[in-house]
Amino acid sequence: MCGIAGKLSLDRAVDPELIERMCEVVAHRGPDSRGIFCDGGIGIGVQRLAIIDLETGDQPIANEDGSVVVVQNGEIYNYRELRRELEGRGHRFSTTSDTEVIVHLYEDHGDACVDHLRGMFALAVWDRRRRRLLLARDRIGKKPLFYAARNGSFWFASEAKSILQDAEVPRDVDLDAIDCFLQFHHVPHPKSAFAELRKLPPAHVLSWEAGRIELRRYWKLSYSPDERYRSEDEMGERIRAELLEATRLRLRSDVPLGAFLSGGVDSSAVVAAMARLSSNPVKTFSIGFDVESFDETVHARRIADLFGTEHHEFRVEPDAMEVLPRLVWHYGEPFADQSAIPSLHLAELTRRHVTVALNGDGGDEDFAGYPRYAANALMNRLDWVPSWLARGAAWGLDRLGPGPRPRSPRTRLRKLAHGLSLAPYDRYAMWVAYFTERDRAELYSPELRASLRGNRTAPSVIKTPWVQSDATAYVDRLLDVDVNTNLPGDLLVKMDIATMAHSLEVRSPLLDHRFMEVAARLPAATKLTGRRTKLAFKRAMRPWIPDEILDRRKMGFGVPLAEWFRGPLRDLPEEILLDTRSLERGYFRERAIRDLIDRHQRGAEDTSNRIWALLQLELWMRTYVDAERPQQVAMSAV
């Protein structure tokens, strides 16, 4: 696990000191060593977190004659099998690291080397003979990769802040990306919050040669049903076998391992698999809250006791918000998933004990675990309702106003009524939105609305993967969309940045691409029926995990923002969002912001998620746009 960075130039040598700065600003991603390769118009750097081959695995790594050079952020889990194949074809290795297999695969297969990799990675391969760069990102998007092209130069890096170390790259804000952020609480790929930067999408390769850039997608999940399963028992056996294999590969490490444990279905399943494959007790780590409705530690302890793990807990309280400036600094773009707070603390706790942790990310996207899937499936079954009736119901519910909580009956009925008159992809976009189209229309200043007119990406973020999906079942279409949007844009960004901030590697067996291929092709009815979610996965796990864990209500991994913004953090939104510095940007209407804060503090509506998004945006502006050069902020900046 590492941070990588580089620059190419057509007409001049790359300054090695720039590559040093690009590495230094992400040293937290890999504190064990720094490697620099410079050769005229190419400069590549890497900060390494040593996990496999601690002695000889430093990067960059080259092939036998030095004609191919590679840096990688991530892990190739099937490197041992690949090495045996490559050695059988005559390749000679100088290390025992997983990264070295990439250079030899490139020699044999060129850009198709990525097809052989089973893991999480963002990599750069420099072909010295052809003066050609290859960038690649793993299939699911576990590892991030930004890039920029300008005036004959090309930059790439694990984090945007590395590229911004070069004064040649402007830090202009992409207002269209901000519009997307306010709807989806993250900036979706290939957009970046910076107008000059882009993100390489998951499952894509990018080549740069003589200033020409080409992108190609090399993998896509298929939801075409697999007709081979004759019984639920066969499905369960296959799911357990694939989970054990994915977990076994992720236990390959030369440093201590552990696991995140929430006590939910997914993390419990991963810990159960680890316990079956490990000769020593598994180390497990959990986060708790003083607000009971957010606290899952009792369930985590139940699983820890069941499997005899070495268990550790950490509690998050309102003063944990002191981490806010550090949160903004590390994420590098506006990012409003509130669970980044406990994720950052959980990573800090875990890193005191281990260097690698496994987690349960991906189970909800594999097996339809989120409540929104059931809600949208219900709306799909109500498509027979005439549009005039749906619009009338929406008008009436709007007159009543929103409910006081996101899950209150009135709030859900409003969403249902508004969604019935929309196309399925627009309906889902509305359901997952922080700020809906109408919310943003009320919030935006006339100047911001004018600048966005005719240049908006947000409507296509859900529509494009929806239309491109091969899924025939409605719920599978929802899953396919999330795998291509929310998963890489939110969940995986949250976990990568939170863990890398503390030099902790996290591995996700449920995001193994072969495991996901099996899950995707299961019959849709075995994932979601009515309000019953993750049916096939829960059936498969019943021999391992108690019913009380499998059948309890899903809690998620949030923080009690609503309570905090009405209690100990009551003054924070007004201090920041209504500050002269914020209002003078001219993006938002002051009255709309005051109303948002007032409705929340009166208890008329829970607007905490929207307040949090605006806070993240403003603090990002202060840290990355206002500052002369992006650098870590102190609390006084807030």
In this structure, the answer to whether residues 35 and 139 fall within a common structural domain is yes
Question: How many structural domains is the chain composed of?
Answer: 4
Count of C-beta atoms within a 10 Å radius of residue 398? 13
**Is 563 within the bounds of a domain?**
no
In this structure, the answer to whether residues 510 and 431 fall within a common structural domain is no
Helix (H, G, I), strand (E, B) or coil at 453: coil
**Is 462 within the bounds of a domain?**
yes
In this structure, the answer to whether residues 489 and 475 fall within a common structural domain is no
Which of the listed residues 217, 252, 268 is the one where a domain comes to its end? 217
In this structure, the answer to whether residues 238 and 360 fall within a common structural domain is yes
CATH of the domain at 177: 3.60.20.10
In this structure, the answer to whether residues 57 and 200 fall within a common structural domain is yes
- How confident is residue 636, by pLDDT bands cut at 50, 70 and 90? very low
Which of the listed residues 443, 462, 480 is the one where a domain comes to its end? 480
In this structure, the answer to whether residues 182 and 249 fall within a common structural domain is no
As annotated, the active-site residues are 2
**pLDDT for the residue numbered 322:** 75
In this structure, the answer to whether residues 293 and 400 fall within a common structural domain is no
**pLDDT for the residue numbered 353:** 96
**pLDDT for the residue numbered 553:** 83
Mean pLDDT of the chain: 91
pTM of the complete model beyond 0.85: yes
What is the mean pLDDT of the segment spanning 101-122? 97
**Is 121 within the bounds of a domain?**
yes
In this structure, the answer to whether residues 40 and 148 fall within a common structural domain is yes
Pairing relation of β-strands 198-199 and 146-150?
antiparallel
CATH of the domain at 513: 3.40.50.620
**pLDDT for the residue numbered 370:** 93
DSSP state string for 371-423:
HHHHHHHHHHHTTTS-HHHHHHHHHHHHHH---SSTTSHHHHHHHHHHHHTS-
**Is 562 within the bounds of a domain?**
no
**pLDDT for the residue numbered 211:** 92
Q: How many whole angstroms separate alpha carbon 142 and alpha carbon 74? A: 9
**Is 623 within the bounds of a domain?**
yes
In this structure, the answer to whether residues 486 and 471 fall within a common structural domain is no
Contact 267, 259 (CB under 8 A): yes
In this structure, the answer to whether residues 212 and 239 fall within a common structural domain is no
Confidence check: pLDDT of 393 > 70: no
**pLDDT for the residue numbered 405:** 61
Quick one: what percent of the chain has pLDDT higher than 90? 76
- How confident is residue 633, by pLDDT bands cut at 50, 70 and 90? very low
Domain with 504, as residue range(s), is 232-368+482-550
Contact 229, 495 (CB under 8 A): no
Summarize pLDDT for 516-556 with one digit per residue, the tens: 999 999 999 999 998 899 999 999 999 999 999 999 887 66
In this structure, the answer to whether residues 337 and 407 fall within a common structural domain is no
In this structure, the answer to whether residues 94 and 29 fall within a common structural domain is yes
**Is 224 within the bounds of a domain?**
no
36 versus 320: the higher-pLDDT residue is 36
Which of the listed residues 422, 449, 480 is the one where a domain comes to its end? 480
Summarize pLDDT for 450-467 with one digit per residue, the tens: 999 877 899 999 999 999
**Is 287 within the bounds of a domain?**
yes
Confidence check: pLDDT of 410 > 70: no
**Is 379 within the bounds of a domain?**
yes
